Amino acid sequence: MSAAADSVPEKIRSLVAAVQRRRWLALSVSCAVAPLLAIGISLVPNQYEATARVWVNTQSVLKPMMNALTYQPDMDQQVRMLARTLISRPNVQRLVEMPELGLADGDAERREATVSRLMTKINIVPTGNDNFYQISYRGDSPEHAQRLVKATVDLFVTSGASSKQRDSQDAEEFIEHQIQSYETKLAEAENRLKEFKIRNFGTSGVSAQDYFTRMSVLSEEVNRLRSELAAAEKSRDAYRNSLQLEATQQTAADMSPIVAEIDTRLQAQRKLLEELLQRFTDHHPDVINARRSVERLTTELHQRRDAEARTPQSVDGKGSINPVYQKLRLSLAESEAQVASLRSQLAAKQSTLDQARAVGDRMPQVEAELVQLNRDYDVIRKNYEQLVARREAAMLGAKLNETSQLAQFRIIEPAQAAGAPAFPSRLHLALIAVVLTLVTGIGTAIAVSILRPTVDSVAALARISRRPVLGMISMQSGPSVTSHQHAEALKFKAVAGALMLLQAGWVAWIALGQ
């Protein structure tokens, strides 16, 4: 610990000795660097900073009142975004083209360079959390910086209003375009729904449950008509049998004994044939003989009846019309009419039931298509109505922006420029240059001593040679050497004093020139 502490003063003494040995080198470097820095700083103009503070009030009395009537954007967010994007190339080009700033240049390259330079030098920074913004700019003169900051403040204020107008116009145009598109889609959806209802007339708009109920009712009606038709047919058959029996009895009463005898034999032979067919096949001889007898008696009966029909009969009580027979014929005619009516009703109901069944088979598909068409139509109509409502809200918002300012820009501190140059001014740079001149000279002497070390003590010799030092021999200077060293020291002080005076005079000149 003590060795390290002792080495620090030793190092400092060695550095001071190195600078002392190479003091002329340090002074020469300082004398060479000083005019270079002086020339460079003289070419650097002073920068004057102008600032302005703006407050954007986004709280308005109309804001809560119009909350449910129109869409209101987040003004705080819009103002923050406006502040971030204000220093853009188009806006800065507008500043450059302003005649009162005197920045317009006919050369395109110089104008672009001016725009790029202003984009980096104009600063808009928020100060606090209440929409306070500070606009600053550093220019070559206070007047120029003040004019530019004032123009930037005006641009900030006007851009807020113009951006809202552009947003309202863009929103209105976009919504209008979407409304026209949805009007076309809505008309197409209405046409598809109309064509579907025309194509499926009688089926669309009726649920499957209603169809099944209708089919059940039709089925019951068909079954009822079938029952009534069966009863009517039985009644008709009964009337027909009664009429046939009455006609047979009347015919039997009117026919001759020979015809009656042949008819009796024919009935007996038919009965015998039926009994034989129950016991034997068609190819049995008895069956064949019985069938021949039936055919012979039938032919003989027809011939006899034809012969008697051609023979005129006496008009007596037997040829008169039987009232019972006449009544049976009327009842049979009514029964036949009822049967025909029931058959017609049954055919119509059966056709309706078949059509309902055919429609019922494709009812799920019809319902699915109708549901999809209605869903598409409802979605398009809902979007269309929402767009129309939003268009009205957008128009109301645009009128609100035209008649009132939802965001008010208030200039808290107008653009003003300080009379003194902004840091670092040429005076600050001059002072820094003086210090840098001395540091450069001393640093050069130390660097040369490190690169080309010189032994000036026993400790330095032991450290460099890494060998033990047995002893040292002192040197005695004569009067002539001492006189020479004294003269050289005076000369060095004179040159160094002259350099410091020149530096002080230059700094004073810079300070007076500001």
Reported as a single tens digit per residue, the pLDDT across 188-233 is 888 887 887 777 655 544 455 566 777 788 888 888 888 888 888 8
Of 163, 154, 151, 133, whose CA–CA distance to 405 is shortest? 163
Of 450 and 259, more confident: 450
pLDDT at 4: 46
All structural domains of the chain: 2-45+422-471+500-513 (no CATH), 48-181+401-417 (3.30.1890.10), 208-361 (1.10.287)
Per-residue pLDDT, 79: 66
Give the pLDDT band of residue 2 (cuts 50, 70, 90): very low
Q: Supply the DSSP string of 168-235, one letter for each residue.
A: HHHHHHHHHHHHHHHHHHHHHHHHHHHHHHHHTTTTTT--HHHHHHHHHHHHHHHHHHHHHHHHHHHH
Tokens of residue 353, six digits: 């039931």
Higher model confidence: residue 320 or residue 277? 277
For 224-278, how does the pLDDT look when each residue is reduced to its tens digit (9 = 90+)? 888 888 888 888 888 778 777 766 665 555 556 676 677 777 788 888 888 887 7
Q: Hey, is 137 helix, strand or coil?
A: strand
136: enclosing H helix or E strand = strand 132-139
Average of per-residue pLDDT values in the chain: 77
What are the phi and psi torsion angles at 12 (to 5°)?
-65, -45
Query: Alpha-carbon distance 26 to 442, whole Å?
Result: 5
Using the predicted structure, report yes or no on whether residue 283 has a pLDDT greater than 70: yes
**Which stretch of 58-67, 104-113, 330-339, 480-489 has the lowest confidence by average pLDDT?**
58-67
Q: How confident is the model at residue 306 (pLDDT cuts 50, 70, 90)?
A: confident
**In sequence order, which residues have a C-beta less than 8 Å from that of residue 249 and are 6 or more positions away?**
none
Instruction: Look at 123 and 408; give whichever has higher pLDDT.
Output: 123
* Residues 456-471, mean pLDDT to the nearest whole number: 74
| Total Cβ atoms within 10 A of residue 390 | 18
Using pLDDT thresholds of 50, 70 and 90, give the confidence band for residue 360. low
Spell out the residues 6+ positions from residue 481 whose beta carbon is closer than 8 angstroms to its own. none
More confident call, 83 vs 204: 83
Could you give the CA distance from residue 167 to residue 173 in angstroms, rounded to a whole number? Answer: 10
| Euclidean distance between CA atoms 251 and 205, whole angstroms | 66
